[in-house]
Structure 1
Amino acid sequence: MKYTMIGAGAMGYRYGVLLQEKVGVQVDYIDTWQPNIDAVRQQGGVYASRDHEDRHLVPINIYTPEEYEGDPDVWMIFMKQMQLEEMLKRCAHLFKDHQVVFSAMNGWGHFEKINQYFPADRIYGGTALVATVLNGPGDVDFMGKAGAGSMEMCAMNEQITDVEKAMAADFDKAGFNPTVTRNFHGTCLAKIIFNSVANTLCTMYQIRMGQFISFPGAMKMTAQLVNEAYDACERAGYQMTRSRQEEIKAIEISSRETNPLHYPSMYQDLTNGRPTEIDYINGYIAELGRENDYVCRTHEFVVQGVHLAELAFQIHQKEAKD
């Protein structure tokens, strides 16, 4: 199958490069960040590393939405939530009835936007428990050993199709260890809850995942956030794909064993002066709770905590310049 990445950032590059290198399929890239586009075109591709080693150039084709004329079988969307609506508008003329779309973006809110352009039976959502860092324009670093991490995927209408099986086969060859499920909300919520702990706390305190999990109180903090999130999901009538203890264990393993040196994407946004996706992660969980007569007090608190960290970073940057 042919794939086109909408969003040539850390995750778009990781999926695209590994699909190219490990599976041998055609992958194109659409982006709107001009320094990234310029760097790729000047270099003749994107530089890819793994854990800061084996840096090599991977030839790729990158376009703006207005330049692109391709016709992929699968659109793969890896954008920041705040940027997605405008990108979809710019790509709308490219969407065709025979195409499907897959997204494993952080947070919640993107499926409603995608659903404006694709019907539910052509939308596939999922999770991606892999760590990646965009070092700069045209330069990406895959964190963790090859084949480490995992992902889940599910059709929005929860029907397993031949297209989904074909995607899963490609993802498996690329080393993403996919599992196909029949529980759309439960599958996607698992990643949101995962990120609501590791991404958020590492960002608030500006530490790596391994440093967080080595803190003696880390597991208590993890359990508090996970239990509160599960309470909200259960009150909303969503059945989760794994138990509370399995979710807590997944966070521990990823932080302690798989990606201990990783600064999560939310931290990367904070330290690069970009808005974080906190409102789409912990903020979504808090909103889900409120809609079902349950107050997620800890999630409500850390949403404001991350926004305060954003403000503090801006103040420190300004003071440093002055």
Structure 2
Amino acid sequence: MKYGIIGAGAMGYRYGVMLQENAAVEVDFIETWTPNIQMVHDQGGVKVARDHANQHIVPINIYTPEDYTGHPDVWIVFKKQMQLADELKRDAPLFHDDQYVFSAMNGMGHFEKIAAYFPADHIIGGTAMIATVLNGPGDVDFMGPKGSEAMHMSKYAGKIDDTTTAVMADFKAAQLNPIWSDNFMGMCLSKVVFNAVTNSLCTMFELQMGQFIEYPGVKAMATQLFNEAYDACERAGIKLIETRQAEIDSVETVSHAYKYHYPSMYQDFSNGRPTEVDYINGYIAKLGREHDYVCRVHEFVTHEVHLAEMMRQYKHA
């Protein structure tokens, strides 16, 4: 299988490099951020480290959408939710009827946009419990020891088919450790409700995950947020693939495992970019209201993150 990565950011680099190096498949990267492309060309590839150590250059093929003439079997999409619609519109001439697409982006809202360009049964969804940091153009840091990668996969529509099976095999060979689920929405929302705790709270207080878990009240805070999210999902008829208790317990285990990691929402926040909170806590709150249930804490957290975004302007005054 040949893959085209749309979005050479933290996770795009992670998936593309691991597929290229571990699964020995052909990978092309499509990027629209000019400094990123230029840096990769200047240094002969992307700088890759793991937990801040053993940095080395991995040669890659990287193109703008307008310069690309390849025909991958599968597109892998990793863009910020706010950027995705414009990105897909720019990439549309590269899409063909025989291609599949996989995405494991944070939040919710991307699959509906992707479905405007691909048949529903050619879309593979995923979630990734994989921490990665983009230090700057052409410079990425894989967080966590080798073998710690964890992800789920599911079809957006239809049953698992030969192409989906081949993608899963390549992801296994790449050491991304995929687990299959037949519960698409339950899979997606299980990651969203996790991020609604760790990403949002770490961002507001500018904490690494290890610092966050030191607070003795984290379990109580997580329980309140998870209970609200699960209640909203139940009213919407969505059964999450993790139990409430498993989600609560995972906050501690994942935070300890990635104790030096700043979640992706904080990475956006600290660099002055808009966060994806509307697609995480905001999505849960919207889902609740659509089913006559008010997620008061998630609504409040969404406002808090936006307030923190606004207050950045005064830090440099």
Work out whether 1:200 is the aligned partner of 2:206.
no
Work out whether 1:27 is the aligned partner of 2:27.
yes
The residue identity in structure 1 corresponding to 2:129 is L
The CA distance in 1 between the partners of 2:314 and 2:158, in whole Å, is 46
Alignment-derived partner of residue 287 in structure 1: 286
Alignment-derived partner of residue 213 in structure 2: 213
Indicate how the Cα distance of structure 1 residues 150 and 283 shifts in structure 2: closer, same or farther if over 3 A, else same: same
Alignment-derived partner of residue 124 in structure 2: 124
Alignment-derived partner of residue 228 in structure 2: 228
The CA distance in 1 between the partners of 2:248 and 2:70, in whole Å, is 42
Q: How far 1:314 sits from its partner (Å)? A: 2.2
1:86-105: CA deviations, max 9, x gaps?
11001111111111000000
Report if the CA contact (8 A) 1:158-1:182 is conserved. Answer: no
SS in 1 for 2:152: strand
Report if the CA contact (8 A) 1:127-1:151 is conserved. Answer: yes
SS in 2 for 1:42: helix
Alignment-derived partner of residue 103 in structure 1: 103
Alignment-derived partner of residue 91 in structure 2: 91
Work out whether 1:16 is the aligned partner of 2:23.
no
Report if the CA contact (8 A) 1:151-1:179 is conserved. Answer: yes
Q: How far 1:156 sits from its partner (Å)? A: 0.6
Report if the CA contact (8 A) 1:232-1:285 is conserved. Answer: yes
Q: How far 1:228 sits from its partner (Å)? A: 0.5
Alignment-derived partner of residue 260 in structure 1: 259
Structure 1 residue runs of 5 or longer lacking an equivalent are none
Indicate how the Cα distance of structure 1 residues 144 and 45 shifts in structure 2: closer, same or farther if over 3 A, else same: same
Query: What is the TM-score when the length of structure 1 is the normalising length?
Result: 0.97
> What is the correspondence of 1:131-142 to structure 2 with a 5 Å cutoff?
131-142=131-142
The CA distance in 1 between the partners of 2:290 and 2:216, in whole Å, is 34
SS in 2 for 1:66: helix
The residue identity in structure 1 corresponding to 2:51 is D
SS in 1 for 2:216: coil
Alignment-derived partner of residue 58 in structure 1: 58
Q: How far 1:242 sits from its partner (Å)? A: 1.5
Q: How far 1:250 sits from its partner (Å)? A: 2.1
The residue identity in structure 1 corresponding to 2:76 is M
The residue identity in structure 2 corresponding to 1:242 is E
1:116-152: CA deviations, max 9, x gaps?
0011100011100010000000000000001103100
1:259-278: CA deviations, max 9, x gaps?
11100010010110000000
Q: Tell me the C-alpha RMSD between the 2 structures.
A: 0.8
Alignment-derived partner of residue 278 in structure 1: 277
Alignment-derived partner of residue 151 in structure 2: 151
The CA distance in 1 between the partners of 2:19 and 2:302, in whole Å, is 35
Q: How far 1:158 sits from its partner (Å)? A: 4.8
Query: Which structure 1 residue ranges, 4+ long, deviate > 6 Å from structure 2?
Result: none
The CA distance in 1 between the partners of 2:232 and 2:60, in whole Å, is 43
The CA distance in 2 between the partners of 1:147 and 1:78, in whole Å, is 21
The residue identity in structure 2 corresponding to 1:316 is K
The residue identity in structure 2 corresponding to 1:153 is M
The CA distance in 1 between the partners of 2:285 and 2:66, in whole Å, is 38
> What is the correspondence of 1:293-304 to structure 2 with a 5 Å cutoff?
293-304=292-303
The CA distance in 2 between the partners of 1:90 and 1:305, in whole Å, is 33
Alignment-derived partner of residue 168 in structure 2: 168
> What is the correspondence of 1:35-74 to structure 2 with a 5 Å cutoff?
35-74=35-74
The residue identity in structure 2 corresponding to 1:60 is I
SS in 2 for 1:57: strand
The residue identity in structure 1 corresponding to 2:273 is R
The CA distance in 2 between the partners of 1:64 and 1:78, in whole Å, is 15
Q: How far 1:175 sits from its partner (Å)? A: 1.7
SS in 1 for 2:65: coil
Sequence identity (%): 62
Alignment-derived partner of residue 307 in structure 2: 308
Q: How far 1:312 sits from its partner (Å)? A: 1.4
